Structure 1
Amino acid sequence: MQTIQQLPKPGQPQETTLQNFFPGYFALVMATGIVSIGLQLWQYHSLAMVLLVVNVCFYLVLLAILAMRIRKFPRLVWADLHHPARGVTFLTLVAGTNILGSQLVIILNRGLWALCVWIAGFALWLLLLYTFFLFNILKEPKPSFEQSISGAWLLIVVSTESVAVLGALIAHYSHYIAFIALCTYMIGGMLYFVLIGLILYRWLFISMKAELLTPPYWINMGAVAITALAGSRLVMYGHSHPVLAHWTYFVETFTMFFWAFASWWVPLLFLLFFYRHFIVKVPLQYDPQYWSMVFPLGMYGVCTFNYARITGFDFIIPVSGLFVLVGVLTWIIVLIGLLIEIAQRISRRKT
């Protein structure tokens, strides 16, 4: 999958920035939100609050940019929605919205605010997911398999499970929300089975150069980690609410399966990252897709913490702390890269 640039080259008009703006930039909100939640779980409330405020700012700015792009370049946005590689990245808006809602519950205990966010996130999920599938089913001629499939397709799973995670957090408001959370948990799990099979086929049987091992492939792990988190949250809810009580054992069993699979991915992804950048020496430079690497690292830390709580496997809790720390450090590094990129853009504009 080729890198999608979000900044203009020297000499290009400023409008090019908006024209080529990366549709998946809401991964920044996803990454910031999950890192903030991880810090809150480990009792770093002040830092978690700071990141919550920062994340609200990120979300509003990105919404404004998206609205301007839709207004000024509706055909480009429409073309992006049709594109098999770029279209799926719009689902970062769904996941970012629901993760922001999860922050409101976990950090601020604002359930009603989160309920409004969940309704918006669920509506966006329905709109964008069915739009993406409809366009790509009817699209002719079809693009080649290797040009279309990438780790970004697992945003289908991430967005679906984000509905389940936030739904489980606010399910006490209505048993309908609990039902939708359970259904989206199951749907996300089914979609993961299908999509990860296609991605592994791509990796194992079609030429895969190091340059193609882009950061969205970390969602291989992030998608199954958020599925484990959704299961953990549903089990927590089911222990105290009869509407899901009889599903609790089933969900807990599958959650162990998902957590174990997420854990299996971790060494492989680190080895591939090392191979890509330190053996083949693909340059390490800022790309908005690196937020898709930060999110899975933080998500694995958060899902491990919650999984340990429902199972009593306390010996894995230090793993959660380690990955929350790694997620925070990676978030800082990628943010510095973003700030440098913005500074360079301003400098080019002045010259």
Structure 2
Amino acid sequence: MRFSSPSFALVMATGIVAIAARQQGWPRLALLLFDSNVVAWLTLSLASMWRLARHRGDVAGDLASLQRAPAFFTAVAGTGVLAGGMLVLDVNFVFACVLGLLALVLWFVLTYAVFAAVITGEDKQPLERAIGGAWLLAVVACQSVAVTAALLSGHFAQPWRLQLNFLALGMWLFAGMLYTWIIALIFYRALFLRFAPADLAPPYWINMGAMAISTLAGAQLVANAAQAPFLEALLPFLKGFTILYWATGTWWLPLLVALTAWRYLVRRDALRAEGLDWSMVFPLGMYSAATHHMDAHVTAGLLAPLDTWFFGLALLAWGATALARTSLWWRGARARAPVPD
């Protein structure tokens, strides 16, 4: 029996909705979501370590698979979002440091392991089967490290403060370049190759989510400008690219809604529980958090109450997905249960 790689998309989605809840003035809901997120992260981490110890061949095969490899980046992003939640919710600074360091190590190991394995792999598939929104998880993973480093920097004295801000800046810039490479392939695939309703998988919402977390990282760098002279010198650049990332993510939103309506209303594709996925919740929550943070440090209240509206949408999507995934798991468990004689 083959065990698939555990996905930390649940941790990503729950963590960012918890952060958005804190921003919107819902501290109890934020802590409730955060506590459940810690349990989810621990459970998925143990499952990942068990799989690595018992099924190394499957892990190696997934690393070289164009369809399954992107799931590894959810471990980085989930760990980074959990670390950021600890800082924003003021839960535990030491654990936040440990998780931030773990996210950086995981990013380094998994980024080079995945790209090296895929590049050298022999099972090359056509572009329409190989590329999708899930590959932008590589961008999300990188930006999660940037956000965590930027948040941690304010808790350290010099020179660590400078070094963490420089790390955050470098990761932010590289992730923007990585998005450019990957989104060009995704856009080409969508425009010029046949696109069936089933091809519009939920991870395509990461087209927007990757830009939303890039906006959040940029806004945090702007907020940190007073801590680092090189950031202060780059303020026009930082603000300009932060708005560029936000505008790009915002551009994707109506198109993704239209394509989703085309799939389920025009082409009459059946809406199943599998269609509700955490990779749709994370971008909505991240868009709310990023818009709130950018409005506080870049656009000075110009975008209110857009962040509040999207927090409501993200919370509804989180609840609907939790119910759908629980129902799906329950039906699967009942189907596997032995039938009594």
Tell me which moved more, 91-100 or 109-118: 109-118
Matched, 1:332 2:314: no
Q: Residues 87-141 of structure 1: CA distance to partner in whole angstroms, max 9, x if unpaired?
A: 1111000000000001000012533321111110000000000011111221225
Q: Separation in 2 of the partners of 1:299 and 1:212?
A: 24
Deviation at 1:243, TM superposition (A): 4.8
Pairwise CA RMSD of aligned residues? 1.5
Partner of 2:36: 54
Contact map agreement 2:142 2:172 (CA 8 A) in 1? yes
Q: Residues 1-32 of structure 1: CA distance to partner in whole angstroms, max 9, x if unpaired?
A: xxxxxxxxxxxxxxx4xx343x3620110000
Tell me which moved more, 129-138 or 35-44: 129-138
Tell me which moved more, 27-36 or 304-313: 304-313
Number of matched pairs: 333
Q: Separation in 2 of the partners of 1:107 and 1:141?
A: 45
> Of residues 49, 57, 63 in structure 2, which corresponds to 1:75?
57
Tell me which moved more, 150-159 or 272-281: 272-281
Q: Separation in 2 of the partners of 1:178 and 1:240?
A: 8
Name stretches of at least 5 consecutive residues in structure 1 with no aligned partner.
Answer: 1-15
Q: Separation in 1 of the partners of 2:113 and 2:148?
A: 22
The change in CA–CA distance for 1:41 and 1:101 in structure 2 (over 3 A counts) is same
How do 1:72-111 and structure 2 match up within 5 A? 72-111=54-93
Partner of 1:201: 188
Q: Residues 302-340 of structure 1: CA distance to partner in whole angstroms, max 9, x if unpaired?
A: 110011111234131211111111001101101101111
How do 1:123-272 and structure 2 match up within 5 A? 123-172=105-154, 173=156, 174=160, 175-272=162-259
TM-score by length of 2: 0.94
> Of residues 22, 27, 33 in structure 1, which corresponds to 2:15?
33
Q: Separation in 1 of the partners of 2:275 and 2:229?
A: 43
TM-score by length of 1: 0.91
SS at match of 1:315: coil
Q: Separation in 1 of the partners of 2:143 and 2:167?
A: 11
Partner of 1:284: 271
Matched, 1:312 2:299: yes
SS at match of 2:66: coil
Percent identical pairs in the alignment equals 35
Partner of 1:64: 46
The change in CA–CA distance for 1:294 and 1:211 in structure 2 (over 3 A counts) is same
One-letter amino acid of the structure 2 residue matched with residue 44 of structure 1 = W
Matched, 1:303 2:290: yes
Tell me which moved more, 83-92 or 309-318: 309-318
Contact map agreement 1:25 1:288 (CA 8 A) in 2? no
Tell me which moved more, 209-218 or 112-121: 112-121
Q: Separation in 2 of the partners of 1:287 and 1:101?
A: 29
Runs of 4+ in structure 1 off by over 4 angstroms are none
